[in-house]
Chain A
Amino acid sequence: MFSTRLRNLEEEMGADFGVFAGWSMPMSYGSYLDEHMAVRSSAAFFDLSHMGRLMVTGKKEEFEYLVAKAIGSTEAGKMVGPTAFLTDKGTFVDDVMIYVLGESSWLVVTNAVNREKVASWIKRNSGLEVEDLTMEYAMVAVQGRRVWEFTDKVEIEPLSFKKGIKYMGIETFLLSRSGWTGEDGVEIWARPEEMELLLRKLRTNGIKPAGLIARDSLRQEMGFVLYGEDIDETVNPLEARYWVFSLEKEFLGRNALVQALRTGVTKIRVGLKLKKGERVIPRRDSKIMVEDQEIGVVTSSTYSPYLTRVIGMGYVKSSHLFLGYSSKVEVRGRRIEAKLTDFPLV
């Protein structure tokens, strides 16, 4: 079990810990509902030090062949993503964000659960060098609609980053204008001791700490997928409607995707909105039903504090992608009305 280097501070701030992807992480600091709404209405910060961070170096052509999205013209200081590493069947090895450092070096942010898998997958499929920086740097996201009222304004374009700059007077290794909540903000990599100083400053400035439960409800409102829940090695980007590839270039898994485009797919990812007032959360693998027919399964679900209703996502048969139709989800033997919707859900 891994523990983040910010754990002592998080305990001091009242974190309630739980296990995620082999890491003991702050799940919430009392109420995820408050933390979620803090991001939607003001700002909050999340410890993301569990996310895999790999430095990859070597020949650009080799790296480009592994990445499903074109990175050819992306200049240093820009991010590519979300994109993905795919299997030769076109399914997800992982979905990743890539920081372009230069002509022959890239930083890859993986899902926590896939850190080691991705590192060995890159080495197995290329001559590229991989160095794991995950334990070296803490990573934090500061996110929120009013984030710049509480923090320094960052003069960086969305999905761009800078290395070695000071933020709130603290030395960072890397700072990017990115996040995974649907709100503005930054993601920061810094040495753990520097990060601790930064978090104390953010706290003093009135920014709440938030845990992984709020991060999960924020991403579900936006319709963002989570590896291991909504995508994995059995799902391809067409089924997930996750546009992480550029067919104009060659990449591992491309042939399978072109083939799937020709033949079509049998299942498609869809959003779910339960009727207001229904206060049950369909757990993973709950059935989605239309007229007594099982048309799919739920992969993620939560209570949305912003919409004050239960939301979710799942896969339905592509022949039954009845967007806007009230289907049913089965929860503890009860069938509950759930509208099939597009993303985002907010």
Chain B
Amino acid sequence: MEKRTKYLIVNDRLYTDSDEWVKVEKDVLIVGITDYAQKKLRDIIGVDLPKPNTQVRKGDPIAVVESVKAAADIYSPVDGTITEVNERLVESPELLNKDPYGEGWIFKIKPSGPLANLLTPENYMKKIGE
């Protein structure tokens, strides 16, 4: 983990254009929102989670993060099946602010296709203009 800008970007992840991070763990991907996204949304007060065992397509909006500023859609980074969701976020959505890359993970997904068009940490950093 490395802090290179005013936003934390973690080296062992891949990123999406819509500010999700993706961590490859065996045959599933763990997905959350980036430090940049949580800072832009400010205090997060609620999360609508997807249902486990749902099949989704890359780019589908599958969760919603609610803050005073906005309700932001969270998109699936790949085609696949949701295997698990972070139920702790229902009671403690502030975990998304406090630990976006750790305890604030949102869902796990088993991909049914290749990982494509995800950004490296360097490219994500460029994308957010840092």
Interface residues of A (CB under 8 A from B): 16, 27-28, 31-33, 213, 217, 278-281, 283, 302-303, 310, 332
Contacts and interface: CB of A to CB of B under 8 A. Distances in A.
B43 A33 contact: yes
A32 B43 contact: yes
Interface residues of B, number: 15
Residue of B42, B47, B71, B90 with most chain A CB atoms under a 10 A cut-off: B42
Interface string B24-68: 000000000000000100110111100000000000000010101
A278 B48 CA distance: 10
A247 to B, nearest CB: 38
A302 B68 contact: yes
A332 B45 contact: no
B93 interface: yes
A280 B43 contact: no
A32 B97 CA distance: 12
Contacts of A302: 68
B18 to A, nearest CB: 18
A303 B68 contact: yes
Contacts of A280: 46, 48, 66, 71
A16 B39 contact: yes
A303 B42 contact: no
Nearest to B93: A279
B112 to A, nearest CB: 27
Contact of B42 (A28, A278, A310): A28
Interface of B: 39, 42-43, 45-48, 64, 66, 68-69, 71, 90, 93, 97
**Main secondary structure on A side of the interface with B:** mixed
19 contacts: A16-B39, A31-B43, A31-B97, A32-B42, A32-B43, A32-B68, A33-B43, A213-B42, A213-B68, A213-B69, A279-B45, A279-B46, A279-B66, A279-B93, A281-B45, A281-B66, A281-B71, A303-B43, A310-B45
Q: Across chains A and B, which 8 residue pairs bring their CB atoms closest together, nearest first?
A: A279-B46, A303-B45, A33-B43, A280-B66, A32-B43, A279-B45, A31-B43, A302-B68
Contacts of B93: 279
Contacts of B64: 332
Contacts of B66: 279-281
Contacts of A213: 42-43, 68-69
A16 B42 contact: yes
Contacts of A278: 46
Given A279-B93, A280-B66, A281-B46, 16 more contacts: A27-B42, A31-B97, A32-B43, A33-B43, A213-B42, A279-B45, A279-B46, A279-B47, A279-B66, A279-B90, A280-B46, A281-B66, A281-B68, A281-B71, A283-B71, A332-B71
A299 B49 CA distance: 27
A257 B39 CA distance: 46
Contacts of A217: 68
Contacts of B45: 279, 281, 303, 310
A16 B38 CA distance: 13
B67 to A, nearest CB: 8
Nearest to A217: B68
Contacts of A281: 45-46, 66, 68, 71
A31 B98 CA distance: 11
Contacts of A310: 45
A332 B72 CA distance: 12
B38 to A, nearest CB: 11
B27 to A, nearest CB: 32
Nearest to A18: B69
Nearest to B66: A280
A218 to B, nearest CB: 13
B61 to A, nearest CB: 10
A213 B66 CA distance: 15
A27 B48 CA distance: 25
B103 to A, nearest CB: 17
Contacts of A332: 64, 71
Contacts of B47: 279
A334 B102 CA distance: 30
Contacts of B39: 16
